[in-house]
Homo-oligomer: A and B are copies of this chain.
Amino acid sequence: MSHAPAIRTRGRPLATAEQDVRASLLDAALVRFAERGIAATSMAQIAKQAGVTPAMVHYYFSNRDRLLDALVEERVAPLIEQVWTATDDEVADPRLLLQGVIARMIAGVASRPWLPPLWIGEILNESGLLRARLFARLPLPRLRALAESLGALQARGDLHPDINPQLVFVSVLGLAMLPFAAAGQQRRLPIGLTLEPDAVARHATALLLHGLRPAPR
């Protein structure tokens, strides 16, 4: 499954292979958390996935809470930062911003299969175990600004009155992230469809901007 296990013996290992155990524990945790959920994953399972003993988790992270802290700090938060790093064009036009956010989100997903289940299950979900930790790091001002620019569009009559600007970002997650959570590592939906990241990005963008209407013009 993961890297070559290379029989581990008691005592400090030789410095030959550049095996960063701490990093591989974080990776292992992400894999298992994405697969079975945080609450259902034991420390021992993480250690096993990483090919080390449970005591290593204690050695590097002291306890479960600190492991979660490290995960958020080192793996998840940087991604959120990246998704919300917008160009000036995007800041000026909420539709452009949404397009950019979707594109960066899905680009992030492509190289991080653990992201969608984790985001949906442990961050977005009310009782997700990363939610509180990540909430402090969310770019709330940007979310608010987005809702406000959409509200301005709406006031001008440039947006359907039934749309709720405050719900738009959750809708983006539903359109861009949820399909990947549903498809899993194999990127296949139960109906038999294979998910191409680019195609999902185009679909989500088109649906968000135009809905099920003809292409404009």
Judge if A58 is at the interface, Cβ distance under 8 Å.
Answer: no
Query: Nearest chain-B residue to A186 (Cβ)?
Result: B126
Judge if A190 is at the interface, Cβ distance under 8 Å.
Answer: yes
Contact with B along A130-166 (1 / 0, CB 8 A): 0100010010100110000010010001111111101
Segment of A2-10, A18-26, A203-211 engaged in the interface with chain B: A203-211
Please pick, from B124, B168, B174, the residue contacting A171 in the complex, using a CB distance under 8 A: B174
Provide a sorted-by-A list of 23 A–B residue pairs whose CB atoms are within 8 angstroms: A121-B125, A124-B178, A126-B181, A140-B191, A143-B191, A144-B191, A160-B213, A161-B215, A162-B206, A163-B212, A164-B199, A167-B193, A167-B203, A170-B179, A170-B189, A171-B174, A171-B204, A174-B178, A206-B211, A207-B207, A208-B211, A210-B213, A211-B213
Using CB atoms and an 8 Å cutoff, list the residues of chain A in contact with chain B. Answer: 35-37, 39-40, 94-95, 98, 117, 120-121, 124-127, 131, 135, 138, 140, 143-144, 150, 153, 157-164, 166-168, 170-171, 173-175, 177-179, 181-186, 189-191, 193, 199-200, 202-216
